[in-house]
């Protein structure tokens, strides 16, 4: 089964259904179907989601709906927040948006 690692502080919002996607830098080869989300510390149980959409685009092209589904307020908040994981991240960075239910 395919899997991704998520930060520990994102486990609770994901389990609660508040975080409905992940935005990752680069072109990621994620397929529709089951996806395991593993916490970075392995202290939390694995969350299995059903990937329903995968898209590749530039960061500034991420839609308001995708930004909100990830828990960010707006594009500027997303760009700043992504620097936590990707220090060189910017509006022209290629991203993969993985949406689940």
The count of other CB atoms within 10 Å of the CB of residue 19 is: 19
How many whole angstroms separate alpha carbon 4 and alpha carbon 11?
A: 12
- Mean pLDDT for the chain overall: 97
**What is the model's pTM?**
0.95
Q: What share of the chain in percent tops pLDDT 90?
A: 100
pLDDT of residue 12: 97
How many whole angstroms separate alpha carbon 9 and alpha carbon 85?
A: 13
Mean pLDDT, to the nearest integer, of 21-42? 98
pLDDT of residue 62: 98
pLDDT of residue 56: 98
How many whole angstroms separate alpha carbon 45 and alpha carbon 99?
A: 20
């Amino acid at each position: 089964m395919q899997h991704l690692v998520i930060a520990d502080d994102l486990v609770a919002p994901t389990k609660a259904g508040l975080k409905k996607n992940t935005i990752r830098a680069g072109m990621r080869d994620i397929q529709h179907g089951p996806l395991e989300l593993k916490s970075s510390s392995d202290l939390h149980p694995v969350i299995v989601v059903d990937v329903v959409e995968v898209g590749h685009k530039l960061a500034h092209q991420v839609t308001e709906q995708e930004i909100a589904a990830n828990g960010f307020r707006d594009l500027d908040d997303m760009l700043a927040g992504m620097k936590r994981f990707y220090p060189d991240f910017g509006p022209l960075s290629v991203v993969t948006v993985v949406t689940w239910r």
